[in-house]
Structure 1
Amino acid sequence: MSPHSAARVVVVGAGLAGLSAASTLVKAGFQHIQVLEAMGRPGGRVYTTRPFGQNVIELGANWIHGQEANPLFLLAQEQGLLLEEKGSASIMCLPGSVTPRDYFFRESRQQLPVDEVEQVCSFFSGLTSRAFESELEPRHSSQSLGGYLDEEFAQSPLAASEDGPRVFEWCKRSECTDEASSSLYEVSASQLGHYVALEGGFFNSLGPGGYQALADTLLDNLPPGAVLCDRPVHSIHWALQEEKNHTRPVRVLCQGGQCFMADHVIVTVPLGFLKENAVAMFEPALPKSKADAIERLGFGTVDKIYLRFEDRFWPHDCAGIQLVWDAGPEDEEVYQHSQSEGGAWRDMWYKKICGFDTVARHPTVLCGWITGREARHMESLDEKMVGEVCVRMLRSFTGWSVPEPAQVLMSKWGSERFVRGSYTYPPPGVDAVREHTALAAPLPLPCEAGYSQAKPLQVLFAGEATHVNFYTTTHGAYMTGIREAQRLIDLYADSELDSYNE
């Protein structure tokens, strides 16, 4: 029996990172792969549902971010999971991106002219592009994204226009959805330049199986029983010494008491879960570099609010109803003050909803997006109350006759105890490349004292937070699972070659 076929690997988490790791190992001939998923379903932050009929609603991942060189897009294309081919109308924009079919309303029920909105949004997009393309001036290198945007906008003639500041604040709120942050003052301006956006737009036309069909493709590569759901991991004991009762260096204990001995464990849990549980989860404790990375990287919440109506009340040429509040611009000092003034912001949590977008293949459904601390607060409210607040806003801004929704559905990623948020962002003052790299480093680290004779690659780490350039994305998660599987494949290929040479 070859060494790799005898190796036992436990994968913690059955999201795209865990499933791609397990699938890659199985295809390479590894025969003892066990995937442990804490939730009652595989998929992780991919969560495809059908609450409104036969067509899917995505409570989790929504887009394939770019098409060129995107392995998930290529996989979906190869498996026939796309409704339309590349270049079709299924290329979408992220929430907050403006199209001529968006209706922007002020609190006074005045609909803003599209050209005025586009002018501000285009200026905002140009500023954020400079950050993402690493074209910032040195004076912005230590600033938050919000601080940089405020400073640049203040120098623009648009800042003196009647509605320019209001629309700019709308742009900032919508950008929080991209960054999974409570505020852009929590996000580094300069570190965004490490993120790489793939060419080809955002693809939102997966077929009737939705995003789950991609996860199912990976599941189909695994043998029966390889994935065990409802198996939350309590602790991972690594660097075990060889004893009579066990010869493998890693022991994985589940909360129900089940124990798995392994040569290697690939940890793919979300960064939010690690922030809450890593200290108690690993024995020995994680090295300081990895513990620091978990603490320093940001991990925020993005939620969706779906409203299903019996009939469509908005015009057929309307792709979204965007809400522009009359409140003046928010600066960093105002935001920091609101952070410390107790629960006042909770009374206005709904102001974080930028608007309500139409939903593909659901002609009577609208979707609102909400982020950060306001999203986490919303999760504590019941769906009926949230629906009433959303309808009240729609009526107040538009003046239209808005009926009560037939159904309200909300995601709750912040309160999901095995996730604790949505995706990663780089805070100000953090070296994102260093922290992503440290988080991805397998254990034991080569430089750790006392582990020179230990078996290599005992604990490996995957997930979107471990990718320097593709954090936040599903393809980043998918690629990191393959990356860690390849480490093990290479390890055993080298050992087999050494055995052959001997």
Structure 2
Amino acid sequence: MGPSSGVKVVVVGAGLAGLSAASTLVKAGFQHIQVLEAMSRPGGRVHTTRPFGQDIIELGANWIHGQEGNPLFHLARERGLLLEESGSAKTMCLPGSLTPNNYFFEESGRQLPVDEVDQVCAFFRGVTSKAFGSELEPSHSAQSLGGYLDQEFAQSPLGASKVGQRIFEWCKRSECTDEASSSLYEVSAVQLCHYVALEGGFFNCLGPGGYQALVDTLLDSLAPGSVLCDRPVHSIHWALEEERHAHPVSVRCRAGQCFNVDHVIVTVPLGFLKENATAMFEPALPVSKASAIESLGFGTVDKIYLRFEKRFWPDDCDGIQLVWDAGPEDEKVYRYSQSGGGDWRDTWYKKICGFDTVARHPTVLCGWITGREAQHMAGLDEKTVGEACVRLLRSFTGWLVPEPAQVLMSRWGSEPFVRGSYTYPPPGVDAVREHNALAAPLPLPSDAAHSQEKPLQVLFAGEATHANFYTTTHGAYITGIREAQRIIDLYGDKKLDS
């Protein structure tokens, strides 16, 4: 029997972080691994469905972000889960990203010339890339991404054009989808440089099983009964006294079930922690970790799928993009509306940048919506949302747009065990410090060095705990392996059972 044979570990959350942690421990010889999932299904923010027939629709994670150095891409390739076209994975566009076949319409119904759109979007990509590429001046250190972009655009010749201003606002709304924010005024300009984009582009290259096939691969590596769904955790009691408890951690479920373990790996989303961390941990989380939970941003990105009986858009159209007449929004106007002024709830649909075509579904369009408007939409029914989308499509394009046969929406902001989609760095926050503080295991190394407490009692994984790969599925996956490896290394001075 190896030293790990009696070690008990609970993993909270069966998303990619939790499943990669459990799978890594099992492969290292740990025998007592229990995964507790609050929802009725494993996968977390991966949610592959088949509402329109046999082909998949992704309500959650959609993209593999890059190939080189991406363990999820390599895992999918090893297991034959990629969709191959002419020997290579098919590249797909991110929401709102440009292809030559995007149709841009003004509110008046005029279709914008491609050259006019490309000129503004190219400028937007150029100034945004400076933020991601660490090329900003020290004067931008406390500035929001929205404020920085407004400043740069106002100083360019393009900023004098009314149409250019409207296209630039479209670009900003589209970028909100990447950042999971209500507005780019909520996102730091300088902190974006810490995000690392892997080479190889953005891919929706998974085969007919979608992201669920990757989840299933990880589930297959675990013993039957290792994952328990519908098991929301109520509290985690750690640093229990050795004289009175055989194990230092007690994980208690809302239904009353209790697991006494040596280690717990917490992989719940940051949005859930923001809402529940104060009451969830006993003793309370250290100030550094509580501050990280509060400081980092966690926003909502939702999808609206519209299935029609027949395709009404041209064969060469990859997306229908909506350019509103409203002038440029500045930070002051946004803050006013955020504090209760304005009527953004009545015009929530203006946050929809457009509708993109969907792979494998020739009669389906997908609209993307973010932030507070997405959270407002979650309280509406499918019929109301579908009617609003059809009104937009008709008024902007002038085409004969039929009523949709089906409407399907994600509602990540209102999902009680998620409360959003992914993480972003707010202005004035040292994002790397906060990501690392969130990732630090308990007891903290500085505390453990001066105490007799067992190390690594509570560990943390998930995309929000990675300073360079936050927002991504591979970030979540990597952090699960990282935390499992901490436990493996703790017992690694002796050979583990195979």
Calculate the TM-score normalised by the size of structure 1: 0.97
| 1:30-78: CA deviation from partner (whole Å, max 9, x where unpaired) | 0000000000000000000000000000000000000111000000000
Structure 1 counterpart of 2:271: 272
User: Is residue 97 of structure 2 the alignment partner of residue 97 of structure 1?
Assistant: yes
Deviation at residue 225 of structure 1 after TM alignment: 0.3
Equivalence map 1:410-449=2 (5 Å)? 410-448=409-447
C-alpha contact 1:92 1:201 (8 A) present in aligned 2: no
Deviation at residue 490 of structure 1 after TM alignment: 0.5
Deviation at residue 4 of structure 1 after TM alignment: 1.1
C-alpha contact 2:264 2:458 (8 A) present in aligned 1: yes
Structure 2 counterpart of 1:500: none
Structure 2 counterpart of 1:171: 171
Deviation at residue 90 of structure 1 after TM alignment: 1.4
CA distance in 2, matches of 1:236, 1:89: 43
C-alpha contact 2:236 2:252 (8 A) present in aligned 1: yes
CA distance in 2, matches of 1:318, 1:295: 42
* Aligned amino acid, residue 313 of structure 2: W
CA distance in 2, matches of 1:254, 1:450: 31
* Aligned amino acid, residue 329 of structure 1: P
* Aligned amino acid, residue 49 of structure 2: T
| 1:170-192: CA deviation from partner (whole Å, max 9, x where unpaired) | 00000000000000000000000
User: Is residue 40 of structure 2 the alignment partner of residue 44 of structure 1?
Assistant: no
Structure 1 counterpart of 2:182: 182
CA distance in 2, matches of 1:121, 1:5: 57
CA distance in 2, matches of 1:449, 1:87: 52
RMSD: 1.3
Structure 1 counterpart of 2:10: 10
Equivalence map 1:29-428=2 (5 Å)? 29-84=29-84, 88=88, 90-243=90-243, 246-342=245-341, 344-428=343-427
Deviation at residue 496 of structure 1 after TM alignment: 6.5
Deviation at residue 83 of structure 1 after TM alignment: 1.1
- The alignment covers a number of residue pairs equal to 496
C-alpha contact 1:446 1:452 (8 A) present in aligned 2: no
| 1:139-180: CA deviation from partner (whole Å, max 9, x where unpaired) | 112100000000000011111124100000000000000000
Secondary structure at the residue paired with 1:252?
Answer: strand
CA distance in 1, matches of 2:481, 2:86: 25
CA distance in 2, matches of 1:495, 1:38: 35
| 1:200-246: CA deviation from partner (whole Å, max 9, x where unpaired) | 011102111100000100000000000000000000000001245x3
Residues 221/89 of structure 1: CA separation in 2 closer, same or farther (3 Å cut): closer
CA distance in 1, matches of 2:339, 2:260: 47
CA distance in 1, matches of 2:474, 2:285: 27
Deviation at residue 94 of structure 1 after TM alignment: 1.3
CA distance in 2, matches of 1:18, 1:151: 42
| 1:107-135: CA deviation from partner (whole Å, max 9, x where unpaired) | 11000001110110010001111100111
* Aligned amino acid, residue 335 of structure 2: Q
CA distance in 2, matches of 1:490, 1:330: 52
Structure 1 stretches of 5 or more lacking a match? 498-502
Deviation beyond 3 Å, 4+ runs, structure 1: 85-89
Percent identity of paired positions between Structure 1 and Structure 2: 82
Deviation at residue 5 of structure 1 after TM alignment: 1.8
Secondary structure at the residue paired with 2:177?
Answer: helix
* Aligned amino acid, residue 308 of structure 2: F
CA distance in 1, matches of 2:455, 2:342: 49
Deviation at residue 263 of structure 1 after TM alignment: 0.3
CA distance in 2, matches of 1:123, 1:221: 47
C-alpha contact 2:82 2:89 (8 A) present in aligned 1: no
C-alpha contact 1:444 1:451 (8 A) present in aligned 2: no
C-alpha contact 1:18 1:268 (8 A) present in aligned 2: yes
C-alpha contact 2:89 2:203 (8 A) present in aligned 1: no
CA distance in 2, matches of 1:462, 1:85: 34
Secondary structure at the residue paired with 2:427?
Answer: coil
Structure 2 counterpart of 1:19: 19
Deviation at residue 84 of structure 1 after TM alignment: 1.1
* Aligned amino acid, residue 354 of structure 2: G
CA distance in 1, matches of 2:92, 2:10: 37
Calculate the TM-score normalised by the size of structure 2: 0.98
C-alpha contact 1:323 1:354 (8 A) present in aligned 2: yes
| 1:276-317: CA deviation from partner (whole Å, max 9, x where unpaired) | 000000000000000000000000000000000000000000
CA distance in 2, matches of 1:233, 1:89: 39
